[in-house]
């Protein structure tokens, strides 16, 4: 009698799962996604809510907000740990569309948008209470 064997790492599959198939319908990241989709980052006061015409494109504030909300629910406060989660955790890859901002970008977003971020977090708690 042998052990249960996993798939080989190089094994191709006819139907590889999409990110959407890997995240359950009732998962927290889907709630975060629905909440952030309702928001207007510019109205809330997030910096860089309007893309600049010159230079390298910035990350969408909505994507970084999703990352921070997920991190707070998972008790991940460190920008370096959030960066690592972006690279290895399907639960983070799904709402960010596989974006992987570096720790400095993540930390600067929080530092530059403190007041808007706190207001958004308060509103998120109220949203969760309303939804149940």
- Going by the DSSP 8-state scheme, the letter that residue 130 receives in this structure is H
Q: Rounded CA gap, 102 and 87, in Å?
A: 10
Closest CA to 37 of 122, 107, 95, 93: 95
Question: What pLDDT is recorded for position 126?
Answer: 86
- Output the pLDDT for position 3: 77
Q: Which of 19, 20, 120 is nearest to 61 (CA)?
A: 120
Please give the structure tokens belonging to residue 77.
């406060």
Q: Which residues of 99-120 are buried (b: 16+ CB within 10 A; e: fewer)?
A: eebeeeebbbbbeebeebbeeb
pLDDT value of residue 122: 87
In terms of Cβ atoms closer than 10 Å to its own Cβ (0-12, 13-18, 19+), residue 88 is exposed
DSSP-based three-state secondary structure for 47: coil
Predicted TM-score (pTM) of the model is: 0.84
Yes or no: say if 71 and 101 are a contact pair by the CB < 8 Å rule.
no
Say how far apart CA 81 and CA 83 lie, in whole Å.
5
Grouping H, G, I as helix, E, B as strand and the rest as coil, residue 43 is: helix
pLDDT along the chain (132 residues), means of 10: 72 78 93 91 79 80 94 96 96 94 94 90 85 74
């Amino acid at each position: 009698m042998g052990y249960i064997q996993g798939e080989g790492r190089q094994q191709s599959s006819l139907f590889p799962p999409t990110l959407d198939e890997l995240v359950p319908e009732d998962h927290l990241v889907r709630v975060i996604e629905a909440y952030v989709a309702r928001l207007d980052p510019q109205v809330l006061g997030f910096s860089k809510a309007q893309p600049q015409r010159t230079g390298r494109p910035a990350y969408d504030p909505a994507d970084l907000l999703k990352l921070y909300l997920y991190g707070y629910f998972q008790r991940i406060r460190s920008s370096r740990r959030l960066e690592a989660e972006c690279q290895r955790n399907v639960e983070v890859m799904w709402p960010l569309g596989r974006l992987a901002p570096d720790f400095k970008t993540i930390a600067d977003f929080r530092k530059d948008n403190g007041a808007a971020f706190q207001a958004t977090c308060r509103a998120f708690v109220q949203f969760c209470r309303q939804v149940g």
